[in-house]
Structure 1
Amino acid sequence: MKATAEPAVEGFLAMLAAQRGAAANTLAAYRRDLAGAAEAIGPLERATTDQIAKLGTVWADLAPSSLSRKSSALRQFFGFMVDEGMRADDPSSALPRPRARRPLPRLLSHEQVAALFLTAESEAAGGEPEKRRMLALLELLYGSGLRATELVSLPLAAIPRDAPFLTIAGKGGVQRMVPISTRAIKALSDWLLARGKGGRFVFPSPRGGHLSRVRLFQLLRDLALRAGIDPVKVSPHVLRHAFATHLLEGGADLRVLQTLLGHADIATTQIYTHVDASRLVALVNQRHPLARS
């Protein structure tokens, strides 16, 4: 018999949809995780710290990624209840923690990224359509942090006419506006001139449809080889990761980065905070109000 959803859970899910624009799939995942926890320990609205601690046993056989996701759902739920005045205490400190952190993607240095662009720009200057396409792909991967799927399936209708933004349909069909730089617009314009007419995708495939993710992966590794970089170190996700990490190093706000990357949950964005400790210390010393006292 299906249990009736708790009012606080429904309120929490409504908040995720309204304030964070969470997709239907994301909301369904939160609902399943919260319902599963309630089945194991009873109503979450009245759950005690001791009851929450029992989830460590219930979830003992889960993979670290699944454990982290479930714990994040409950942590956000209890934070919501406290913020809304539904509870005076937050029992989430008793939640089990993953045995290991989610592995970080490989990271390219600023020098390696510069080498990729130097090679791509030099080759594109020759005017060959495929080389112009490669530069446009690189600009959008590193300059805007697009996912591989978002990039290869980019429709012509998403290209801005008079505003420096792309309209991206991300995970779950959730749309977001992504800024693109002046140089990326130039690379896109050059590619569109070389591309010719026909098809509805920015990066069409010779066989119809759009460029595949596999082909994008191959193109990047070939470029890395020509730039003198180990091809194993380069992929679409590595460039997306470099985009995020290098923005944070430059002082970007984590919430802004969450929006740019299209993450429904800020916890997903926090993986990118592994910048040098020295930079973080310097940022606090330079920007904190007490630093000027």
Structure 2
Amino acid sequence: MQRRSRGINTGLILLLSQIFHVGINNIPPVTLATLALNIWFFLNPQKPLYSSCLSVEKCYQQRDWQRLLLSPLHHADDWHLYFNMASVLWKGINLERRLGSRWFAYVITTFSVLTGVVYLLLQFAVAEFMDEPDFKRSCAVGFSGVLFALKVLNNHYCPGGFVNILGFPVPNRFACWVELVAIHLFSPGTSFAGHLAGILVGLMYTQGPLKKIMEACAGLGGFSSSVGYPGQQYYFNSSGSSGYQDYYPHGRPDHYEEAPRNYDTYTAGLSEEEQLERALQASLWDRETSAVD
């Protein structure tokens, strides 16, 4: 498993241009730090992809647990990085303002590790149930499992919105599942288990005990998980924001922060269908291949 070379890193250049178009001062600090960390690891990988990807064989059987930390921060190529980080940009702007920077950092960190753990459990269970040891050697990298978890979280806060998937409007509450199936059908080599793991982690937070466990672990450390951020709430497609909707659960506030309206700076001028098509063609989501010794 090796990083694919495309010569000039067009995806990285496009990502940096979007960040500067949005304005560094307009990006919340944890979101900005997440973008910077992923870009830094792309330019300065700590290990080759085959030594940082996540698999049952390498992580559990060989006790290489650092892969849980390295895998989300490594990407197969510049387009993989671009589409994932463009999505981080949108989700971070929305969720960090809603949750607060400290709690959002806590969420990002927990989701990054827990998504990897759930991925390993899924791969191990499938390998044992189907008696297919190859599933234990399947190796994945990338941030998109975490993005699916954040997508569940965002859709939980904006339950009435819609996203456009392959030309069809899909309610937010079903969007993750539809995208999971669509990605698997149109790009069979992607990590189905990695994306499913992200969805399950998101549901553990919104519908299960994870949020309460995190609050109990945080104790009185000053974290806040209930910071409201009324105003314009965004809804997302697979590679960024597909628009916005006005959402005021208690009526329109007298004052609210104006959301940016130039969506081309986030989507590179692509329509929703073009974004999803480009994401699929460029193998946006986690690659799932046999690990190389």
Regarding TM over 0.5, the answer is no
Higher relative CO (Cα under 8 Å, sequence separation at least 6) belongs to 2
Highest Rg: 1 or 2?
A: 1
TM interval, shorter chain, is under 0.3
TM-score relative to the length of structure 1 = 0.26
TM-score (norm 2): 0.26
Q: Structure 1 or 2: larger strand share?
A: 2
Name whichever structure is richer in helix by fraction.
1
